């Protein structure tokens, strides 16, 4: 339906950022302060300049200047009417049919920046970060390793979207190196724990969404209104230290095994851009309780990959191929569940999916599953093997929706493993 849209800018067909996408992010040019932009092809259009020129004088923006800010938070707080309007305005201005920017060559140097020349920043000041556990196959695989196939899923898993509160301060932007964490580890054959660097560093392929207006304390968001609060989506790598996790996680869940670093991609793909890629949510059995039942609940067809490049490889190898549709719980259900007790979500909060594994071996979203806790090491194309991530390894997660002769992509989230500080 969007395939007829064309920009006056040249955008290659396999670009993640055609005029159909228009994701929002925070960037800092070589000279100047961070501000908000939208990615188009290899370029960024500077929304702070468009705002200065008066293009966003519309009631949805409530006379606020949100695009010269160094985070999306003020824009997120404005809600879906402003998000839709901003997208419409930028899409119109970038269209091949609109002369305003197309024919004003003098303005181009001021409003367009090459992505390769700027520094991308975290898209939001993230006040709170929650990580769900919503892929059936991930939960089933991990549960099988811990408790055997008969008791793989805990009794609550199909009744509620299980989650834990993560740590917001260590969420970092793509490209940030991750140092191998140290901690307490109890080897299976030892009677007491030892202290040292993790020997089982892992990635988790996830997606996450940013919260818009949010709710007041004590006022749940009903599932039918969930999408009013979901601005858009990023890719996420939830770096994990499996040996630290195994020793610490009972009875309160993950702590130091997860909060040393969580990486996200810089461009936030809006719910509007994903509209053409909606899919019905697969049947849930047993039927969830009424507060988790949305009349038109949905998911999205998003192809996802993880790539690994060791320091002796010339190019990365694909180690995971999966899809967002492998999630059992929808984002609307996650949000409705998160607020059902009155917990207040705030603009810029980050809610993540949990590792997105599918039914096949290739679709497993972390090393823990791919190597079955190290029992079947991964064989890489250059002959190397990996049970876990080693120092110097680069891990990249990418993803996109395949349209009719265009892609709505998420770019990538990448990080390199460095030795213990």
Nearest-approach distance from CB 261 to Ca ion, in angstroms: 12
Nearest-approach distance from CB 10 to Ca ion, in angstroms: 38
Separation between Cα atoms, residue 303 and residue 294, nearest integer Å:
24
Site for Ca ion in 112-131 (CB under 5 A): 131
Would you report the helix, strand and coil content of the chain in percent, each value rounded to 5?
Answer: 25, 30, 50
Q: Provide CB contacts within 8 A for 43, sequence distance 6+.
A: 9, 112, 113, 114, 115
- Residue 202 in contact with Ca ion, rule: CB under 5 A: no
Nearest-approach distance from CB 101 to Ca ion, in angstroms: 41
Closest residue to Ca ion in the complex (CB): 238
Q: Is 369 exposed, middle or buried (0-12, 13-18, 19+ CB in 10 A)?
A: buried
State which residue, 202 or 412, has the beta carbon closest to Ca ion.
202
- What does the angle CA 306 – CA 308 – CA 313 come to, to the nearest 5 degrees? 150
H-only helix segments in 37-135: 47-52, 73-78, 80-94, 99-102, 105-111
Q: Are 331 and 61 in contact, with CB atoms under 8 Å apart?
A: no
- Token pair listed for 98: 């609109």
Q: Among 94-102, 144-152, 233-241, 402-410, which window interacts with Ca ion (CB under 5 A)?
A: 233-241
Q: Is 268 exposed, middle or buried (0-12, 13-18, 19+ CB in 10 A)?
A: buried
Site for Ca ion in 130-169 (CB under 5 A): 131
From the CA atom positions of the chain, what is the Rg in Å?
22
State which residue, 51 or 204, has the beta carbon closest to Ca ion.
204
- Residue 204 in contact with Ca ion, rule: CB under 5 A: yes
* Total length of the chain: 421
Nearest-approach distance from CB 290 to Ca ion, in angstroms: 28
Catalytic amino acids? 138
Short-list 276, 238, 271, 242, CA closest to 257: 242
State which residue, 34 or 365, has the beta carbon closest to Ca ion.
365
Nearest-approach distance from CB 262 to Ca ion, in angstroms: 8
- Token pair listed for 382: 């250059």
**Number of chain residues interacting with Ca ion (CB under 5 A):** 3
Separation between Cα atoms, residue 308 and residue 304, nearest integer Å:
14
State which residue, 273 or 397, has the beta carbon closest to Ca ion.
397
- Residue 238 in contact with Ca ion, rule: CB under 5 A: yes
State which residue, 36 or 257, has the beta carbon closest to Ca ion.
257
Separation between Cα atoms, residue 309 and residue 316, nearest integer Å:
4
Short-list 173, 57, 65, 166, CA closest to 123: 173
Distances (CA, A) of 185 to 164, 170, 188, 243: 22, 22, 9, 6
Nearest-approach distance from CB 343 to Ca ion, in angstroms: 19
DSSP strand E in 273-323: where?
A: 278-280, 298-300, 303-309, 317-323
Q: Among 201-209, 279-287, 326-334, 364-372, which window interacts with Ca ion (CB under 5 A)?
A: 201-209
Nearest-approach distance from CB 82 to Ca ion, in angstroms: 31
State which residue, 204 or 349, has the beta carbon closest to Ca ion.
204
Q: Is 267 exposed, middle or buried (0-12, 13-18, 19+ CB in 10 A)?
A: buried
Nearest-approach distance from CB 140 to Ca ion, in angstroms: 15
Binding stretches for Ca ion (CB under 5 A): 131, 204, 238
């Amino acid at each position: 339906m969007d395939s007829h849209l064309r920009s006056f800018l040249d955008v290659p067909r396999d670009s993640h950022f055609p005029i159909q996408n228009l994701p929002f992010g925070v960037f800092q040019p070589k000279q100047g302060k961070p501000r908000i932009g939208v990615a188009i092809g290899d370029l960024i259009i500077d929304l702070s300049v468009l705002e200065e020129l008066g293009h966003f004088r519309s009631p949805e923006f409530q006379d606020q200047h949100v695009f010269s800010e160094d985070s999306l938070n003020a824009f997120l707080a404005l809600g879906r009417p402003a998000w839709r309007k901003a997208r419409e305005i930028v899409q119109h201005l970038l269209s091949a049919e609109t002369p305003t920017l197309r024919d004003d060559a003098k303005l181009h140097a001021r409003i367009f920046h090459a992505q390769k020349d700027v520094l991308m920043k975290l898209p939001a000041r993230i006040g709170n970060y929650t990580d769900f556990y919503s892929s059936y196959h991930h939960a089933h695989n991990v549960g099988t390793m811990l408790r055997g196939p008969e008791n793989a899923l805990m009794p609550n898993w199909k009744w509620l979207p299980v989650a834990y509160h993560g740590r917001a301060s260590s969420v970092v932007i793509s490209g940030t190196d991750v140092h191998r964490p140290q901690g307490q580890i109890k080897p299976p054959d030892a009677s007491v724990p030892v202290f040292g660097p993790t020997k089982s560093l892992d990635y988790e392929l996830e997606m996450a969404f940013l919260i818009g207006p949010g709710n007041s304390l004590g006022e749940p968001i009903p599932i039918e209104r969930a999408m009013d609060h979901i601005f858009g989506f990023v890719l996420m790598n939830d770096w994990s230290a499996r040996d630290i996790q195994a020793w610490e996680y009972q009875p309160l869940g993950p702590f130091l095994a997860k909060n040393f670093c969580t990486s996200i991609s810089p461009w936030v793909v809006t719910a509007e851009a994903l509209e053409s890629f909606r899919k019905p949510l697969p049947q849930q059995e047993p039927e969830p309780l009424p507060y988790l039942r949305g009349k038109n609940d949905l998911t999205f067809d998003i192809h996802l990959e993880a790539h690994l490049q060791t320091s002796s490889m010339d190019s990365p190898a694909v180690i995971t191929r999966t899809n967002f549709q492998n999630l059992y719980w929808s984002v609307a259900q996650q949000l409705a569940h998160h607020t059902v007790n009155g917990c207040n979500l705030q603009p810029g909060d980050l809610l993540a999916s949990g590792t997105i594994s599918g039914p096949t071996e290739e679709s497993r979203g972390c090393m823990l599953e791919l190597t079955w806790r190290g029992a079947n090491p991964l064989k890489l194309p250059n002959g190397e093997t990996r049970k876990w991530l080693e120092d110097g390894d680069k891990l990249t997660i990418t993803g996109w929706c395949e349209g009719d002769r265009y892609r709505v992509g998420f770019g990538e989230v990448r990080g390199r493993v460095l030795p213990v500080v």
